[in-house]
Each structure stands twice: as structure tokens, then as C-alpha cells.
Amino acid sequence: MTATTSVLFDAPGPKARRNILVSNLVALAAVLAVVVLVLMQLDRQDQLAPDKWVNALNANAWTNYYLPGLQFTLQASGIAVITALVFGLVFGFLRLAPFAIIRAISGVIIEFFRAVPVLVMMFFLYFFFARVVAPAGLMASSDAAYYGVIVGLTLYNGAVIAELVRSGVKSLPKGQREAAAAVGMTNNQSLRLVEVPQALTAMLPSLLSQFVVILKDSALGYLIGFYELLQYSRQLGSGYSNIFQTLVIAALIFIVLNFILTWLATKLAGNLSSRTSGDVAPATSTTMAPTVDVETK
């Protein structure tokens, strides 16, 4: 048989290629024109002055603003990643429990935290910690924004991870659970030892992309007074009247961090996939027919 290759579109001819080239050139010219207009406008507002960029990049800016803000950002994000992962695994297991009442209650909790915007959750938790927990002497009022950011990121992203766990386990072939039952495992043991580990490996790219979301969403904490990278950058810009420059530097730091995290996620996913997959060599042994001894009576 001759294999035929089907394509969605025919290969473009000379006229189509010329039109595509012209369209690309026009789009590139439009983008360059917008960039030039933006730079001209910034120059009119004296935003391209060297002294503004020097004050945004000198040792004082990094020592007293960017690095402390980056420290609080990474600290809050790191804690939120761990707690969200624990929350997601626990409620992911509960969503797969054999009892309908447990699945229903955990499903309501997960869908509630997924539906509430993370910023609204941060505001609510900030007021809760500042007006209920702090007056009771359980925490300092100055830490209300810090814990509001961490708990808000935990609840929202933990609910998303729990749904990833549930959907990842449900997408596995039924033969996985049947094979676990065949060797004497209970449903809980099958989930814990067989299904969830495979689901975590399969959903690793989505899981690590959620960690990137946690890092970016931590910047929302400046709206409730949490001093992280964005808040420190705004404070530096307000002091030297170069808030545009400081926000550009903060954005570049976030881009570099997200790029590194995405690169690590890609490498980790590749390593795991190479360990869990392999070539199956064909059997080379010769099958021999069994010898049957026949007794003659």
C-alpha cells in the first residue's frame, strides 16, 4: 500500500508568497512606527533621560529596593507553592474518594475557591487577619498583608491543582486500577501508589505553569500593602520621579524569573518522560513446542 499524506492547505504559489511577504513587511513597519511614536512620547516627557535610568539601576536601587522586594516575592511564592500543592493533593484525593458525600463537599469547596478571584480573596483575608486575628493577639497587624497574600494564593491555586489531580487520574486508562486490584491493592492504595504518581507525571507541565501563575499573582499583594518587588519598585520610582523606569526593571525581573522557571519545568518534564518511557525490544528467543510424553499402557 502507498501511504498518502493529507494536508489542510495547499502549498502557496508565487502570488500567495508575495502577498504574505508584503503583509509581513507592512505589519513590521506598523510595529516599528508604534515603537518610534512611543519613544518620541517618552522623550517629550523626559522619560529617557540618563539620570532617571541611573537612579533605577544603581547600587542603591538594587540593595535597598529590588533585592529586598525580590526576597519577599520569592518567599511568599515559595511558601504558597508548597501549601497550594499540599492543598491540591489533599482535596484531589477527596474528590476521588469512594463516598459520594465526601466527593460532593470537596467539590463545592474546590469550585468555590476556583470561582472567587484571587485579588478579592486577598482583600478578604487581609481584613480578616487585620481585624479579627490581629486584635486577638494571634499575629501582628503588620503581617496581615503577608499572610493574606500567602493564604489567598494557596486557596485559589490549591483548588486549581486539586482539579488537575482529579482530571489527571480520571484520564488514566482503567487498566491501571484493575492491575492494582489484581495484585491485592485497595482503592486508596491504588490512588496513592499507582494512579496519582502517574497523573502527576502526565500533568507536570500544567502543574509547573501553575507555579508560574503563583509567582506572577504575588505581585497583586501590593494592592493590600504587601511589600514585594512591585511595591518596592513603585516606592523607588516615587522617590526619584522615575516610576516608569523602575517598573520596567521590575517587569524584566519577573520575565527572567518566569523564563527560568519555565525552562526548568521543560527540562524536568523531559527528564521524567525519558525515565518513564523506553523502547521495547522485540523478543528474540525461539518458541519451542512443549514435549508431551505419552505412556503406552
pLDDT value of residue 133: 93
For position 253, what pLDDT does the model report? 94
The pLDDT score that the predictor gives to residue 210 is 87
Distance CA 257, CA 241 (A): 26
Residue whose cell numbers read 502507498: 2
Lookup: cell for 76: 511568599
What is the structure's pLDDT at 115?
94
pLDDT at res. 126: 96
| DSSP type of residue 252 | H
Low-confidence spans in the chain with pLDDT less than 50:
1-6, 278-297
Tell me what pLDDT residue 269 has. 67
What's the pTM value of the predicted model, to 2 decimals?
A: 0.77
**pLDDT digit string (tens) for 256-278?**
998 888 888 777 767 766 655 54
User: Is 167 within 8 Å of 92 (Cβ atoms)?
Assistant: no
Shortest CA distance to 153 belongs to which of 202, 214, 108?
214
Confidence (pLDDT) at 278: 46
Distance of alpha carbon 6 from alpha carbon 2, whole angstroms: 13
pLDDT of 9 reads: 61
* CA atoms in the 13 A half-sphere facing the CB of 239: 13
Q: Cα-flanking dihedrals φ and ψ of residue 270, to 5°?
A: -65, -40
Q: What is the pLDDT of residue 272?
A: 64
DSSP secondary structure letter of residue 130? I
